[in-house]
Amino acid sequence: MDRMPTQLPVIGVYVDSRVLTKKIINVIEVAKSQGTKTIDCDELIVFLNDIDHTKGDLSLADLESYKANNNQAMELFKSTITFGLGAIKSIFLLNAGAVVILLTFVTHLKRDDVTYFVSCIFPFAIGVMFAAILAFFAYITQFLYAYQDNTLRRFGYFFHMVCLVLAAISLYLFWEGITLTSAAFEVYGKTKSV
């Protein structure tokens, strides 16, 4: 008599026949505990056909297509994270660079001229703070998106929106800093030309 293979093909992947046998035995034991004394052959065949995933559920091509779509979605998600990280770094560097440039410029001015530019540093410095908070909330957002629980994903979406608001505020503060600095240079230039 031929021996049964120890592995059976299921959806193009091999599953250990012992696992399948244990599942069948468990179902039969449950039926026995519920008072079933005999199993009808036709019902057994129907049951085994329901278990047999090779009867047209998915082909190997379907699985490969599914894997390709998942890989594409994963790569798009990774690129979204990469672009988001780049945006956060840019916002941070814009404001931090402006603070450094203004501080460097102010250190070369006379004491009386410094007053024109001191207030210009604040929007940039607060923009740096918002960019740092943005980075923290972006981490929280990705952490929450990683869970399969819909409630946590909704919180992730909420923090995603918070990140967008923080980014907009930080960029607005950069614009405000540029406006104040431009006005300060205009006033400073007029006082020096007189």
What residue spans define the domains of the chain?
A: 7-51, 80-193
Between CA 138 and CA 127 the distance in angstroms is 16
Q: Are strands 13-16 and 7-10 parallel, antiparallel or unpaired?
A: antiparallel
Q: Supply the pLDDT for residue 17.
A: 66
Each of the 194 residues of the chain gets a pLDDT tens digit; together they read 334 344 444 444 445 567 777 777 887 888 888 887 777 777 777 777 766 554 445 567 777 887 888 888 888 888 888 999 999 999 999 999 999 999 998 888 887 778 778 888 999 999 999 999 999 999 999 889 888 788 898 999 999 999 999 999 999 999 999 999 999 888 887 777 65
Q: Supply the pLDDT for residue 15.
A: 52
Q: Supply the pLDDT for residue 59.
A: 66
Q: Supply the pLDDT for residue 57.
A: 52
Between CA 35 and CA 53 the distance in angstroms is 29
Residues forming a β-bridge with 14: 9
Q: Supply the pLDDT for residue 14.
A: 46
The string of DSSP letters for 22-80 reads: HHHHHHHHHHHHTT-----HHHHHHHHHHH-TTTTT--HHHHHHHHHHHHHHHHHHHHH
Residue 35, φ and ψ in degrees, nearest 5: 100, 5
Q: Supply the pLDDT for residue 2.
A: 39
Q: Give yes or no for a contact between 66 and 145, defined as CB atoms under 8 angstroms apart.
A: no
Between CA 126 and CA 142 the distance in angstroms is 24
